């Protein structure tokens, strides 16, 4: 019986347990609801939980552990010279055996007879059944495959038996537990809390998993390129083409990329912060209710535009516009028309990214400014301060820590942005202070290094993980700092 059927059976038992639990609760209460500690539904839920949860838990564990156990046992039964092969070959052999085992299960007695008579070999026979075997079938494999197959079916049988038994025992046990003063409600509550905790821990564990997956690759990268060269190198030149040549390692200097990232983010913040903040102040302090209800959603629509669309905007509109206007200015100033702003430049990317960030700044700051208690405004206005004095001297200082937190969150978004930069600032890794020239960022280079047909062993690709983890650490620090400030801000008044 497969796992899905088992799950259905367990759930049916749980449903049965719910009904049985309710009925028993009503019966032990003598149909006087007030003599029960909890309402009868809670007793039903209590029984259902004890029926389903432990058995499903064991089922999940079984599904994870049993293939591992079986595989290792089959592997131990393989000939010694196979076991002596390197690790990568082990996986290959086990993969083959697994496919053969799968194919064998589909064979009819006639097929078996043909195989035995030698009329057909194993590989082509399985091929007929639609199971492709990668490489020749070695002599020891059918035996191992049969062993694997047998262990799997035995495991399946035991599993079904154990799971359903466990569900039944859980049902019986919890059903017997039901007494009028039993606190079923509290137990159900505990299970709900556990479920909520599980949900939040999944989010955290995923983050940890992401970091760990990068750490091992990064470590491999640093075995071929020294960290000092990576973190303090000023030349980015991974040299794809020269693979296999004498100095194929290339140069992996982080500095030009980091500088480009921070420079573009800086220009973007220079655009987004004043515009976003003033917009937020207008929205929260001056705009009437009706205007606010129209304009605020409109502003937030900006946040919903995919960044690649901003990239188009930069590529086809802003970039050429800046180039042309710089040519005009140059013409007016020196009488010779030549553009000093290139179409792809730090300025273009920064401008467009800044536009993208405006709604983040304004929306977050708006919420923070609105959260400043009305009493602060009243207090200041009541002393004869004007509206703008009140904002400048009372509301803004009170909201400042929160706003700084919001800005840091926005900055970490700017640092992680990719698509706008690819289209607006180009992919040339250069170290320059001139905002009118192309530069590139860490994220763009990550995409660059990982696009195409690549093997995951060369430093040219592994560097992407080192870049990724560097970026992750930077944005993580920014976010932590932002959260710290926001938390501090919460204590400011009260």
Partner 1 sequence: MNMMSEAAVEAAVGAKTTAQPPIKMQGRLVNVSYGDNQALFDVDLDVRLHQVTALIGPSGCGKSTFLRCLNRMNDTIEGCRVKGSITLDGADIYDPSIDVVELRANVGMVFQKPNPFPKTIYENVAYGPRIHGLATGKAEMDEIVETSLRKAGLFEEVKDRLHTAGTGLSGGQQQRLCIARAIAVSPEVILMDEPCSALDPIATAKVEELIDELRVNYTIVIVTHSMQQAARVSQRTAMFHLGRLVEEGATDKMFTNPDDQRTQDYITGRYG
Maximum separation of any 2 CA atoms in the chain, in Å: 106
Rg of the chain on CA atoms, in Å = 33
Strand partners, 236: 252
Number of residues binding to partner 1, judged by CB under 8 A: 23
CB 171 within 8 A of CB 16: yes
Nearest to partner 1 of 292, 330 (CB atom): 292
Nearest to partner 1 of 400, 431 (CB atom): 400
- Residues 6+ positions from 313 with CB-CB distance below 8 Å: 352
In the window 275-294, what residues touch partner 1 (CB under 8 A)? 288-289
Q: Which two tokens stand for residue 443?
A: 């994220």
CB of 282 to partner 1, least distance (A): 15
Nearest to partner 1 of 283, 444 (CB atom): 283
Query: Does residue 485 touch partner 1 according to CB under 8 A?
Result: no
Of positions 9, 115, 385, 428, contacts partner 1 by CB under 8 A: 385
CB of 326 to partner 1, least distance (A): 45
Nearest to partner 1 of 121, 378 (CB atom): 378
Nearest by Cα to 434 from 310, 350, 325: 350
What does the alpha-carbon distance between residue 421 and residue 125 come to, in Å, rounded to a whole number? 55
Nearest by Cα to 365 from 491, 482, 494, 481: 482
Q: Which long-range contacts (CB under 8 A, 24 or more apart) does 366-373 make?
A: 366/279, 366/280, 366/283, 366/284, 366/296, 368/399, 368/402, 368/403, 368/406, 368/489, 369/280, 369/281, 369/284, 369/285, 369/395, 369/396, 369/399, 369/403, 370/284, 371/399, 371/402, 372/398, 372/399, 373/493
What does the alpha-carbon distance between residue 265 and residue 354 come to, in Å, rounded to a whole number? 8
Nearest to partner 1 of 210, 492 (CB atom): 492
Nearest to partner 1 of 195, 373 (CB atom): 373
CB of 377 to partner 1, least distance (A): 7
CB neighbourhood size of 72 (10 A): 10
Of positions 389, 456, 477, 480, contacts partner 1 by CB under 8 A: 389
Nearest by Cα to 78 from 149, 137, 141, 122: 141
CB of 176 to partner 1, least distance (A): 56
CB of 400 to partner 1, least distance (A): 10
Residue 305 three-state SS = coil
CB 322 within 8 A of CB 365: no
Contact string (CB under 8 A) for partner 1, positions 340-379, x = contact: ---------------------------------x-xxxxx
Nearest to partner 1 of 219, 493 (CB atom): 493
Query: Does residue 380 touch partner 1 according to CB under 8 A?
Result: yes
CB 419 within 8 A of CB 308: yes
CB of 366 to partner 1, least distance (A): 17
Query: Does residue 388 touch partner 1 according to CB under 8 A?
Result: no
CB of 381 to partner 1, least distance (A): 6
CB 169 within 8 A of CB 50: no
> To the nearest 10°, the Cα dihedral for 226, 231, 236, 242?
10
CB of 280 to partner 1, least distance (A): 19
Nearest to partner 1 of 27, 490 (CB atom): 490
Contact string (CB under 8 A) for partner 1, positions 176-205, x = contact: ------------------------------
CB of 19 to partner 1, least distance (A): 52
Of positions 394, 424, 429, 467, contacts partner 1 by CB under 8 A: 394
Nearest to partner 1 of 5, 386 (CB atom): 386
Nearest to partner 1 of 48, 372 (CB atom): 372
Scanning 46-54, 236-244, 383-391, 428-436 for contacts with partner 1 by CB under 8 A, the matching segment is 383-391
Nearest by Cα to 239 from 460, 466, 452, 463: 460
Scanning 43-51, 130-138, 162-170, 381-389 for contacts with partner 1 by CB under 8 A, the matching segment is 381-389
CB of 486 to partner 1, least distance (A): 15
Write down the number of H helices and E strands in the chain: 20, 2
Of positions 77, 124, 386, 457, contacts partner 1 by CB under 8 A: 386
Query: Does residue 397 touch partner 1 according to CB under 8 A?
Result: yes
Give the binding site for partner 1 (CB under 8 A): 288-289, 373, 375-386, 389, 393-394, 397-398, 492-494
């Amino acid at each position: 019986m497969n796992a899905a059927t088992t799950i259905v059976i367990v759930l049916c038992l749980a449903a049965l347990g719910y009904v049985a639990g309710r009925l028993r609760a009503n019966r032990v209460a003598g149909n006087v609801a007030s003599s029960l500690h909890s309402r009868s539904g809670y007793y039903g839920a209590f029984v259902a939980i004890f029926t389903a949860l432990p058995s499903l838990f064991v089922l999940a564990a079984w599904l994870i552990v049993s293939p591992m156990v079986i595989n290792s046992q089959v592997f131990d039964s393989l000939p010694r010279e196979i076991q002596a092969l390197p690790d990568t070959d082990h996986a290959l052999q086990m993969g083959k055996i697994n496919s053969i085992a799968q194919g064998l299960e589909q064979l009819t007695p006639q097929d078996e007879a043909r195989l035995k008579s030698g009329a057909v070999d194993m590989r082509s026979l399985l091929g007929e059944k639609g199971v492709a075997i990668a490489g020749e079938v070695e002599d020891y494999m059918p035996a191992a495959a049969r062993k694997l197959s047998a262990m799997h079916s035995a495991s399946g049988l035991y599993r079904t038996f154990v799971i359903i038994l466990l569900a039944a025992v859980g049902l019986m046990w919890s059903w017997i537990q039901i007494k009028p003063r039993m606190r079923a409600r509290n137990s159900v509550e505990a299970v709900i809390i556990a479920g909520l905790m599980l949900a939040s821990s999944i989010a955290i564990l995923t983050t940890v998993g992401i970091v760990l997956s990068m750490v091992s690759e990064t470590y491999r990268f640093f075995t071929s390129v020294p960290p000092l060269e990576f973190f303090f190198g000023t030349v980015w030149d991974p040299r794809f083409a020269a693979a296999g040549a004498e100095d194929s390692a290339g140069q992996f200097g982080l500095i030009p990329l980091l500088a480009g990232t921070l420079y573009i983010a800086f220009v973007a913040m220079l655009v987004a912060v004043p515009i976003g903040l003033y917009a937020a102040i207008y929205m929260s302090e001056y705009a009437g209710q009706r205007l606010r209800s129209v304009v605020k959603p409109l502003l937030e629509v900006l946040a919903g535009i995919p960044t690649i669309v901003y990239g188009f905007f930069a590529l086809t509109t802003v970039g050429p516009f800046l180039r042309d206007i710089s040519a005009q200015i140059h013409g007016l100033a020196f009488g010779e028309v030549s553009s000093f702003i290139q179409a792809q430049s730090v300025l273009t990317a920064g401008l467009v990214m800044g536009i993208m960030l405006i709604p983040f700044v304004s929306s977050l700051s708006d919420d923070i400014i609105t959260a400043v208690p009305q009493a602060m405004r009243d207090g200041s206005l009541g002393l004869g301060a004007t509206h703008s004095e009140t904002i400048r001297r009372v509301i803004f200082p009170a909201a400042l820590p929160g706003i700084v937190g919001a800005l840091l969150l926005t900055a970490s978004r700017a640092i992680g942005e990719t698509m706008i930069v690819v289209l607006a600032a180009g992919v040339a890794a250069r170290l320059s202070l001139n905002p009118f020239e192309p530069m590139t960022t860490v994220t763009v280079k990550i995409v660059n290094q990982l696009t195409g047909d690549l093997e995951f062993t060369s430093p040219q690709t592994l560097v992407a993980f080192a870049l990724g983890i560097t970026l992750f650490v930077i944005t993580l620090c920014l976010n932590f700092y932002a959260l710290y400030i926001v938390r501090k801000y919460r204590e400011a008044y009260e």
